[in-house]
Structure 1
């Protein structure tokens, strides 16, 4: 009887200990608070994933009444696929995917905060025997990298100063 009771209480105790230390599943728990609520997004290749990341944080659709308070612009997205590992038999064993994103927040037509640079790298094991499956896996990796870059941009927006800094001109 006692052992049965311990088996039932063990998962509950583990759950309580995890929640007490601040553990939470990805996408759950603390939410990013942005300095403004109405954003215009000029995301280029990241438009869809950036809109999804903003919707997740703002908890609403990105339809603005009137003009947006701020804008986030993706200035460039550079992608690269390199051979990462070659076997002794001179066959490709692994690829390295790299994505570099430059973005900038704007408020009242002026740059707001520092320019953002996001660098993401992923590897893909490769085999000549699995070519068809690897094409789909490559597509999935690129999509996940776009999502990751968009989420990083949105998290960085939370650290923008409340008001754009004004610099005195000489």
Structure 2
């Protein structure tokens, strides 16, 4: 073997060793970062903080009464996917009962110079109350009220019906998301009168715009 071959072989060996060292250093950095992140999460948990998407509900078995199928389905996914609580079919098996009603409506938002509607306000309300199985209040009757603006034209009335349904579905999902966060406000299933969560009323509607 010539000196040139020996020199090339040594250089390759050095390059391989250097690459291995760099790779090992990268692995160590990733490992330290992971351990630091895991340690931070544990410290936050110990201090009472919760990661986004995690809820600690006072109830472990929730019965939902009066809600539509889409509301019940989304509420079930949100509760069971973000906590160790479950939604049950019977109030007899529940330690909390959520009673829900919904309402929909339209109101005129703007008119053109001829008095023809150009824009509607699409309104959605989700009313709820949480009680113990014996009927004692846990969260007083409350309302989540939402609205969306929708332009309108008789020429596209069929399309506007479909659009309004999409808006209602969007508001329904938004309301359920808010509801799951409000349910987490309850801290005990045996509250004193002062610990019962007070009801929340929707904010006052905005005045109609000038014509």
Q: TM-score, normalised by structure 2?
A: 0.57
Q: 2:75 aligns with which of 53, 58, 73?
A: 53
Runs of 4+ in 1 over 4 A off after TM superposition: 63-66
Relative distance call for 1:77 and 1:136 in structure 2 (3 A) is same
5+ residue gaps in structure 2? 1-50, 195-211
- When normalised by structure 1's length, the TM-score is 0.69
Match of 1:144 among 158, 164, 170: 170
Larger radius of gyration: 2
Q: Does 1:78 align with 2:103?
A: yes
- Aligned partner of 1:36 in structure 2 is 59
Shift of 1:136: 0.6
CA contact (8 A) 2:59 2:95 kept: yes
Q: How far 1:63 sits from its partner (Å)?
A: 4.5
Q: Distance in 2 between matches of 1:167 and 1:135?
A: 46
Which has more strand, going by share of residues? Answer: 1
Q: In the alignment, what sits opposite 2:115? A: 90
Relative contact order, CA 8 A, sep 6+: which one is greater?
1
Q: Deviations over 1:2-44 (max 9, x none)?
A: xxxxxxxxxxxxxxxxxxxxxxxxxx94333322221100133
How many residues matched? 139
For residues 120-142 of structure 1, the C-alpha deviation after alignment (integer angstroms, 9 at most, x for no partner) is: 11111112222221111111111
Which protein is richer in helix relative to its size? 2
Alignment RMSD: 2.7
Q: Distance in 2 between matches of 1:111 and 1:47?
A: 24
Q: Distance in 2 between matches of 1:134 and 1:101?
A: 23
1:104-149: CA deviations, max 9, x gaps? 1011321113322111111111122222211111111112222222
Give unmatched runs, 5+ long, in structure 1. 1-27
Q: Distance in 2 between matches of 1:70 and 1:43?
A: 14
Q: Give 3-state SS (helix, strand or coil) of 1:166's partner.
A: coil
Return closer, same or farther for 1:127/1:47 CA change in 2, 3 Å cut-off: same
